[in-house]
Amino acid sequence: MPKLIKGVGCPYCGSSCDDIEVLVSDDETRILEVHNACIIGTNLFHHANDPTRPRLPRQRQPDGSVKEIPYEEAIDYFAKTLLAAKKPLIYGFGSTNCEGMSAVGRIAEKAGAVLDNCATICHGPSFLAMFDNGYPSCTLGEAKNRADVVVFWGCNPMHAHPRHTSRYSIFPRGYFTQKGQMQRTVLCVDPRETDTAKLADHHLMLDQSHDYELFDAFRTVLRGFDIPEVVAGIPREKIKEAAEIMKKAKFCMIFFGMGCTHTDGRNHNIDAAISLTRDLNEHTKCSIMAMRGHYNIAGPGQVWSWQFGFPYCIDLTKGSHAHMNPGETSSIDLAMRDEVDCFVNVGTDAGAHFPIQAVQHLKKHPWITVDPNFCMASEIADLHIPVRIAGVDEPGVVYRMDNVPIQFRAVIKGLPGVPSDEELFDMVYERMCELTNTAPIWLAAKEDRKYPQNPAVI
């Protein structure tokens, strides 16, 4: 009898939906149906059935072809390559669980590596602005239960976080928002008429990359001063009207995305957005939230902040203390300046999502990819090590976009012999200790591990 598993988490976008239902075959090896998830989540679960999923590490040979090798050999190569490198870069972690992120910290320390996550090319600028200006935020439940004005600034949830509007921001009927969408005024700020803009009551179609001026104009209006006739392509009256809507809100919620972090000004746009949020709190209650991308990209920010005190761009090369300075210690900047001599790609696809010039720089040195599937990063790697898929055949803790931790479960059995990220990193760490004749330092986490080392592996 196929089994219906409820309360499953979707390991794709920052909405981290945890109301998915998955029907699995009676031997728990195949996913038959996926309920409640959007098309992206559905495809993700079904893709786990793919019979061609890699089961063994693949190493590139001198002639350019790749050959399958046992895990033991892959772990040995991984450990030796990290130890030989002067300044390895370990990057990724958008799509894995917190257990894996924690385990990699030991390796990074041992290797004197730079540890970075996808925030660096995504909401990293938001972190920079938070360091400067704070983060007056809330959880998504508050938005659902209270927000009567919702602003989507430079984000397009209908495409990037498909169930965000139906679970948290527009449609749900909350405690103080029992009329759902009818009770909410939705504003969208975007240079394109996106599908989110089509849902909005007001669309401010600003000139691309002029968000900073528009934030400034809003703040100026809120403080009772005059603004030019047109700012960032938006007429004065329209800005005043929107500012009035936000000011009159009972609870105003601002969501922002790549339209602010990827454009000119980067962190300064977010800085202005946070200042606007603070200003609005003179008049009403207002909260701001970054539309974090991957389901657990808030995870490394949390885990590494506990471990090292910094959320990303963590330089551990000094051995005794960590250092962080994006622009200097970020993956792209290090790559472009040829400052790293080994690249480890974990739970991401730098091959596809880095600007191609950064990929070319990184590829001058050994490249190791840890990923459950074939991707661009695995197809240009010197070594590709398959692991289990967090949220599908490996459970674990993930952090939603509002930093709420959710326990994700495994719905099917993992491929025999394929370890989780955490198990793999622990084995690499042990091998590094063997090679350097040092005793492993296990933090309490190791003793409390829920998923002891899989004896089938090695």
Partner 1 sequence: MPKISLNMITQRSIEEGAAMEKGKTNPDYFDACSICEMHPDDMKKAGIWKNTNVLVTSECGSVIVKAITATQYVPPGLAHIRQGVWANQVVPPRTQSTGTPQYSGFPVTIEPAPDEKLKTALQLVQGSVGLWKGGQ
- Is residue 431 involved in binding ligand SF4 (CB under 6 A)? no
Token representation of residue 160: 């990037």
List, in order, residues 6 or more apart from 151 with CB less than 8 Å away.
186, 187, 188, 189, 246, 252, 253, 254, 255
Token representation of residue 133: 């200006």
Q: Are 410 and 394 in contact (CB under 8 A)?
A: yes
Query: 108: which strand partners?
Result: none
**Site map 278..317 versus ligand SF4, x via CB under 6 A:** -----------------x----------------------
Q: Which of 8, 16, 120, 303 binds ligand SF4 (CB under 6 A)?
A: 16
Which residues of the chain form contacts with partner 1 (CB under 8 A)?
12-13, 38-41, 43-44, 47, 50, 64, 120-122, 124-125, 128, 156, 158-160, 162, 191-195, 205, 208-209, 258-259, 261-267, 313, 326-328, 330-333, 335-336, 349, 351-360, 363, 373-376, 379-380
Q: Is 153 or 295 the residue whose CB approaches ligand SF4 more closely? A: 295
Type of residue at 365: H
> How far is C-alpha 404 from the chain's CA centre?
14
As a residue count, the chain comes to 458
Query: 315: which strand partners?
Result: 114, 323
Give least dist CB 281 to ligand SF4, A. 29
User: Which of ligand SF4, partner 1, none interacts with 85 (beta carbon under 5 to 8 A by kind)?
Assistant: none
User: Which of partner 1, ligand SF4, none interacts with 17 (beta carbon under 5 to 8 A by kind)?
Assistant: ligand SF4
Query: Whose CA is closest to 359, among 415, 404, 367?
Result: 367
List, in order, residues 6 or more apart from 150 with CB less than 8 Å away.
143, 169, 170, 184, 185, 186, 187, 252, 253, 255
User: Which of partner 1, ligand SF4, none interacts with 15 (beta carbon under 5 to 8 A by kind)?
Assistant: ligand SF4
Task: For strands 342-346 and 88-92, give the pairing.
Answer: parallel
Q: Is 129 or 289 the residue whose CB approaches partner 1 more closely? A: 129
Q: Are 405 and 445 in contact (CB under 8 A)?
A: no
Angle formed at CA 29 by CA 27 and CA 35, multiple of 5 degrees: 100
Task: For strands 323-324 and 66-68, give the pairing.
Answer: unpaired
- The site that binds ligand SF4 (CB under 6 A) totals a number of residues, namely 14
**Site map 135..174 versus ligand SF4, x via CB under 6 A:** --------------------------xxx-----------
Q: Which of 8, 22, 24, 38 binds ligand SF4 (CB under 6 A)?
A: 38
* Whole-number CA gyration radius for the chain: 23
Give least dist CB 177 to partner 1, A. 26
Q: Is 256 or 429 the residue whose CB approaches partner 1 more closely? A: 256
User: Which of ligand SF4, partner 1, none interacts with 163 (beta carbon under 5 to 8 A by kind)?
Assistant: ligand SF4
Give least dist CB 74 to partner 1, A. 19
Q: Where does this chain bind ligand SF4 (CB under 6 A)?
A: 10, 12-13, 15-17, 37-38, 40-41, 161-163, 295
